[in-house]
Amino acid sequence: MTSKAISIICKELKLAECKTFCRTLDVTEVEIDTIMNNNPHDTETQKYKMLDLWMRRCGSKDTASILHDKLFEMEFLNAAEKVKSLPQSQGSTTSVDDIASGIQEVSLGSTAYDECPLGTQESSTNLKKGPRRPRTMKIKNLKYSELDEFCSDMSVERENNMDWRGLAEKLGYNKTKITLWEQRRTDKPKMKLVLSQWEVRNEATIGKLYDVLVEMGLSHIADEHL
């Protein structure tokens, strides 16, 4: 039952929503980043493994019921209703085969996999996807709210500056400027401070931002938000 519940959540929640959901289940930022980096370009597996990590910690608890209650609390009502409608089963343990089956089920339900057989999914997902928005679109023409999740995600400080600091450096800002941003007291995510200055440059396009993120090894963030 729990494997089915996880498959439902993966289908119903976008990657950013799933990450937020897993954080409320006490999956750490480091654990989420590790899963993202170990499964680049494969959002369905990323979502499934985050939830599976939490499930394994719960052991024999009624994890499906916990997932339902948390989904309802966070107002993911469609997913909550589908999880609630699952038939009850004995126990809540999940075998390796169940996990593999769950990932395959999620993948088959995703349009990203519809056009290729299962045996070729790995090679197809390694292809560079490109941004969903036009590459020539200017950052300054976007509403800040359109990049809220991106700015929040990039403002979480990670090892080796795989965050707003590393991106700012790649965009041409020196360490002194980056340090000033670090020391600035503001409620705004640091990434928004960077974008508010960078957006006036002619090169400040969706395509440029996407390419820099890919160069940094953050293609999963580029694909998710841009």
- d(CA 132, CA 224) in angstroms, rounded, equals 9
Q: Which of 10, 20, 2, 84 is nearest to 49 (CA)?
A: 10
Q: Could you read off the pLDDT of 7-56 as tens digits, one per residue?
A: 889 889 998 889 999 988 888 888 888 888 888 888 888 888 888 888 88
Question: What is the second-level CATH architecture of the domain 2-125?
Answer: Orthogonal Bundle (1.10)
Position with higher pLDDT, 58 vs 207: 207
Q: Which of 23, 26, 130, 105 is nearest to 15 (CA)?
A: 23
Question: How high is the pLDDT of residue 225?
Answer: 86
Question: How high is the pLDDT of residue 117?
Answer: 36
Q: Which CATH superfamily is domain 139-225 in?
A: Death Domain, Fas (1.10.533.10)
Q: What's the whole-number average pLDDT of the chain?
A: 79
Query: If DSSP codes are grouped into helix, strand and coil, which group holds residue 75?
Result: coil
DSSP H helices in 109-174 = 121-125, 148-154, 164-170
Prediction pTM value: 0.47
| Cβ atoms of 71 and 22 closer than 8 Å | no
Q: Could you read off the pLDDT of 164-204 as tens digits, one per residue?
A: 999 999 999 999 999 999 898 888 889 999 999 999 998 99
Q: Where in the chain is the domain with CATH 1.10.533.10?
A: 2-125, 139-225
